[in-house]
Structure 1
Amino acid sequence: MGTQMDDVQIIDVNEDGEEEEAPVMHRSSLGNQDLGFIRQTAEEILAEYGWHLLFLTVCIIVLIQYLSKKRAIQVSKRSSNETAQDPALIVRRQEALEASRRRLQEDLDAKAAEYKEKQKKLEEEKRKQKIEIWESMQEGKSYKAKNSSQAEEASSSSGVLKPKSDNKLRGSGYNPLAGDGGASVSWRPGRRGPTSGG
């Protein structure tokens, strides 16, 4: 594109056959002169309004991004509205919710029935214990004694022997802190007062 041609000399021939020299024409380069003008104009505009153009470009980019996000949000809202307004989908969701509620209610009812049954058994056992206590009191026996004898039977049946406690000292009313043990042995608290020493 930017090729240059050499100067061309044109020779004119008369009718007589004599050669006449025509003026030499110089051809300039075939480069596009319009581009140079545009380049010069662009440089002048950038030099004068460069910061304004940069600011305007940034504003346009931010505006485009904002509008694209807003459009994406609107599209997603439309799609959600379309699915929400689909009656078949709404009916299916409600049926699924009802089924899950029914399952949860059945589980809750089953647990409540089990709890009631346990409570009835506990109340029955308590009632039987009260009856046993009342019967043992009518016979003149202590209920605790009956329970302790049952516990001893259970422990002896399991093979574990309990050591017998030595109640000789307790039976005589011996208390080492009270000083009742004998004439030669008694306990007294220490004297209170300032300590001697330095």
Structure 2
Amino acid sequence: MDMGQAEEAQNIENPEEQVTVQHPEKLVNETPESFVNGFNLVTEIIVGYGWYVILAVVVIFYLRHRFRSNISQLMKEKSDRDYYKKYDTKTALARQEGRQRALMRMQEENDIKAKELCEREMQKEEEKKLQRIEEWENHKQGKAYRSKHYQPKEEEPVATSKEKKPKPTSTFRPDDYNPLMGNARNNGFRPRQRSSRGG
């Protein structure tokens, strides 16, 4: 027998030794009193005025169904009025004028930047012009003249006979290469020789 079965058999044989749970003499309801009061109030209202509540709900649903189109039309008209108030002619005109002022301000800034850029370009051109005149004057006087447009190439050093130039290697395959013949040159396909037999 297991230990558990032995204990059960012992408890059945000796019922006096079983542990008894003692209940308190007075049971206390732990439900909050406000909840009980609210529940009692609701049940009293339902019992006393239940038919009136059901009738009121039915009437509300009927009226809502009956006047739904009118209510939606009124709501649409209200939203249209709000929309037109928001976008009336005065407001639209004020917005348009504000937009025009902002565009004018941006255009003025852009014009100022373009004018500054044009002045810088003119200064650069003037400096180049003065530099060319100065170079031409130097050239007339016999001073060294060096054109900025013509840059002489650096001369390559002449190779002496003692230095050997590296032989360029070709990466191309030889002329007799055929990829269908295999990798080796001598192991390619050769047709069988015909023997001439007299007959």
TM-score band, normalised by shorter chain: 0.3 to 0.5
Structure (1 or 2) with the larger CA radius of gyration: 1
TM-score, normalising length: structure 1: 0.37
Bigger relative contact order, structure 1 or 2 (CA pairs below 8 A, ≥6 apart): 1
